[in-house]
Amino acid sequence: MTNELVRPEKFFANRFGMSESVFERIIGSALERRADYVDLYLEYRDAEGISLEESIVKHTSKSVSQGVGVRVCAEDRTGYAYSDEVTIDRMRLAAEAARAIADQRGERPLSVRIGQPAARHSLYELESTPLDVPIEERARLLSEIDRTAREFDPRIVNVMASFSAERKIVMVVNSDGRLAADLQPLCRLNVTVIADDGRSRQVGSYGGGGRVEYRHFIESERWREFTLKAARQAIVNLDAVDAPAGEMIVVLGPGWPGILLHEAIGHGLEGDFNRKRTSAFAGRIGDQVASQLCTVVDDGTIANRRGSLNIDDEGTPTSRTVLIEKGVLRGYLQDRLNARLMKMAPTGNGRRESFAHAPMPRMTNTFMLPGESTPEEIIKSVRNGLYAVSFGGGQVDITNGKFVFSASEAYLIEDGKATRPVKGATLIGNGPDVLTRVTMVGNDLELDPGIGTCGKDGQSVPVGVGLPTIRIDGLTVGGTRA
């Protein structure tokens, strides 16, 4: 495929000879034994990557993939089959295999007519994609990042930078007769810095991106901002003291710390876990599940954000879904299957990693709305506690909401001021419980810079998170200093 933008509605017809009549025959084949719903998901993806380490561009990559998946749903059973060859014969075989998996004999439904218009957003109508930029220009940017980081402080001994970009064209055709298509650009710039003062070696990292053009990183010198933030974090952590341990007041900074909200709360609000009643939030719509200060939304309609989509991977337009309103649970994130079985409306949250995977309910951009306190007021209100600015890894048990997160940048709060940096801090808690302990919410909501990737059942998809500064009373901190 050449490096110009293409019309996704025409792409599969021009490249693979697909037509509405072909789709009608394939879906008709999948419906030969009674099913509730059938869809076809066609995908073409090309991606490139480049990385630098030790001041040398050491790796470049380029890949192209394509394929089609066929899903057949009968009551609560799903048959799914796929092929990496987009041909009529392969689609027919996949439809037969999916039909057999979800087999339920009965009266054959009426024939399908494809062509009903499908609604979609226009959240990332770009003039070009990052793949259109010569790789030499991307290499020069990484070299400039390396030079800038090393000039920040002589204790910086290594810099690792990478830029990745992809362009994905998708089409979803279903047994309701609807056809939806989208061209989805995505790119990300990462910077990791290692600092060494002879006594300690520390790491700092930062990055960002989204469904944006390459100039996004050049405008306002965002690449420089990413570089300096990574370098500063590494240098700050050289002077970090051991983190305290025990139950204490914890203040979470704005932006990326919203990953705790994503993991500890968000997954528990996905429809499949609640339909199967394996979530701690199952059957609790209308209940008070959080402090009245907390309103949490999932919004896939924010322009150019990493987690945003014009349509989800079932062809449904994404939406802004209020999950928790002033502490009260209002709803779940739904794909078509779980929405139908739970007698609810789809929310545009059906997502999949690729054509080789069936969709499931997933988050897009999940965040807490701002409150009325200033960040300064929140810090000042704490006599002794922990201020967590950024997180590294974490894990959560969906069935009970228990989580553990490691802080990559955190500070002691002493007499109402953020003071010494600490290392080795982990936050330990329970998702359904932690939001009930929120006692102050800041007016400084930030979304993360565009680095989130969410894993579920072996599938990874890009997501966004966000948070204002919040105060949580009585959260357990695991550290190395009692």
From 111, 121, 120, 119, select the one nearest 177 (Cα to Cα).
Answer: 111
* Token pair of 252 as six digits: 């979470």
CA gap 183, 192 in Å, rounded: 30
pLDDT at 293: 98
pLDDT at 5: 61
pLDDT of 24 over the 50 cut? yes
pLDDT at 392: 83
Q: Judging by DSSP bridges, how do beta strands 350-351 and 241-242 pair with one another?
A: unpaired
Q: Cβ of 325: how many Cβ atoms within 10 Å?
A: 16
Question: At the top level of CATH, which class does the domain 8-238 belong to?
Answer: alpha beta
CA gap 445, 443 in Å, rounded: 6
From 474, 405, 470, 374, select the one nearest 259 (Cα to Cα).
Answer: 405
Q: Cβ of 157: how many Cβ atoms within 10 Å?
A: 14
The answer to whether 205 and 230 are in contact (CB under 8 A) is: yes
Question: For residue range 291-328, what is the model confidence (pLDDT) as tens digits?
Answer: 999 999 999 999 999 999 999 999 999 999 999 999 99
The answer to whether 222 and 451 are in contact (CB under 8 A) is: no
Question: What residues contact 2, with CB distance under 8 A and at least 6 apart?
Answer: none
Question: For residue range 274-283, what is the model confidence (pLDDT) as tens digits?
Answer: 999 999 899 9
Mean of the per-residue pLDDT values of the chain: 93
The average pLDDT across 410-439 equals 94
In percent, the amount of the chain with pLDDT more than 70 equals 96
Within the chain, all domains assigned CATH 3.30.2290.10 are found at 8-238
Provide DSSP, 367-388: EEPP-SB-HHHHHHT-SEEEEE
The average pLDDT across 45-67 equals 96
The average pLDDT across 31-45 equals 89
* Token pair of 139 as six digits: 């290499």
pLDDT of 138 over the 80 cut? yes
The answer to whether 361 and 333 are in contact (CB under 8 A) is: yes
pLDDT of 3 over the 50 cut? no
